[in-house]
Amino acid sequence: MKVVIMGCGRVGAQLAGLLDTDGHSVTILDTDAYSFRRLPSTFSGTALVGNGLNEEVLKKAGIEEADAFVALTQGDNRNVMASQIAKHIFNVPRVVCRIYDPLRQELYSTLGVEAFSPTTIFAQMLREKLES
Amino acid sequence: MYIIIVGGGRLGYYLTKALLSEGHEVLIVEKNPTICQNINDELGSVCIRGDGCEAATLAEIGTARADMLIAVTGDDEDNLVACQVAKHKFNVPRTTARVRNPQNETIFKKLGIDVTVSSTNLILESIKEEVPTHPLTHLLTIRDQGLEIVEVKIPPDATTIGKPVKELSLPPGSRLALIIPKERKPRVPTSDTILRDGDRVIAVTTPESEEALRAVLRGT
């Protein structure tokens, strides 16, 4: 499948590498070209400098043909906005985003964005580790 | 009305001042403690420190009973989220977002924000208006009706100068509301009113007819 990832931080870069190894066509976006240093040297996808909130940039990244969009920047609101653009303007079939704030994550899940809160997931995981 | 303003920058500050003087109950949510303190010192306790995009903060300040939420921070995505949280979590009847990037205006509309105000577009319009050759100025958009009020200046080379209004074939949905001559008082045009050099014509039109109206009035 064709995947567009917004944000080339640690998670973004690693996800891009994994999907690329699995044979998917990956385009990763970041506003800072320096972030692309995190991509594995074997990465065969496309790395594109640009803001994922900009429709033109998203089009250039091939969002119109994408099967999935993943928003992984540091800003919850940026992720939420980009995801909604992908979902409601470009009708990308699968849109996943990271929202650190658990309350906002809950709200946007009810609004139809597939949102994950690393805060909640990690806290639960730690609890399980400690209690086991 | 109880109005919540997200963002205590210059826009938030002056907006609060204006709304307070109209007798509304206003509360600003601002992240920066120094800005918060300054506003409270000056306007009384109207500013709370917090993130206006966070549901917990909005719950604390009684957003559920707010009549309106206006998000005027400098970041479009923050304004969008503040409005969406207010609308979907607290059922605030009216949400208004400031939009800095004009491209985002249509996106915000599609995502359910009631009113968007594009500060960049407003400034652009005002500056363009000062350019002497600028043919048409938007004064007001009446959104629900799809109407707009515009101003067209009659330049010295317009072929319509000296012609009465009845000889103009105005595009559908367009009406001339007022003519402001260069050195006389404004008047409501009748079919016999003659257009003159330098007249400012205030007209009601639709976005589709705007270009045709400009052409008819200037004879180009």
Structural domain boundaries in chain B? 2-120, 128-218
**Cα separation of B69 and B12, whole Å?**
12
Residues 10-49 of A with CB under 8 A from B: none
Domains recognised in chain A with CATH numbers: 2-131 (3.40.50.720)
Selected for mutation to probe chain A from B54, B88, B111 (highest A CB count within 10 Å) is B111
pLDDT digits (tens, 9 = 90+) for B86-122: 999 999 999 999 999 988 988 898 888 888 898 888 8
Interchain contact, A111 vs B53, CB within 8 Å: no
Optimal mutation site among A31, A51, A77, interface B, most CBs of chain B within 10 A:
A77
**Is pLDDT of A96 > 90?**
yes
Residue segments in chain B with a per-residue pLDDT below the cut of 70: 132-133
A40 pLDDT more than 90: yes
* CB spacing of A84 vs B111 below 8 angstroms: yes
**ipTM metric:** 0.84
- Chain A residues with CB under 8 Å of B78 CB are 77
Q: Residue A45 in contact with residue A26, Cβ under 8 Å?
A: yes
pLDDT in tens, A20-29: 999 999 999 9
Report the amino acid identity of residue B89. K
Concatenated DSSP letters of A50-104: S-TTSHHHHHHTTGGG-SEEEE--S-HHHHHHHHHIIIIIS--SEEEEE-SSHHH
Architecture of domain B2-120: 3-Layer(aba) Sandwich (3.40)
- Min Cα separation A57/chain B (Å): 12
pLDDT score of A103: 85
Residue among A54, A103, A111 whose CB faces B54 most closely: A103
Nearest CB partner across the interface for B80, out of A81, A88, A89? A81
> What's the token pair of residue B202?
């205030």
| Cβ count within 10 A of residue A69 | 26
Task: Decide which of 3.30.9.10, 3.30.2000.20, 3.30.70.1450, 3.40.50.300 is the CATH code for B128-218.
Answer: 3.30.70.1450
Best residue of B60, B63, B81, B113 to probe chain A, by most A CBs closer than 10 Å? B81
Structure tokens at A15: 């996800």
In the sheet where B147-153 sits, what is the strand order? B136-142, B147-153, B200-205, B175-180
Give the residue from chain A lying closest to B102, CA to CA.
A54
Give the closest-approach CA distance of A6 to chain B in angstroms. Answer: 15
Task: Tell me the CA distances in angstroms from B175 to A101, B189, B194, B198, B214, one per residue in order.
Answer: 52, 10, 15, 19, 12
pTM: 0.79
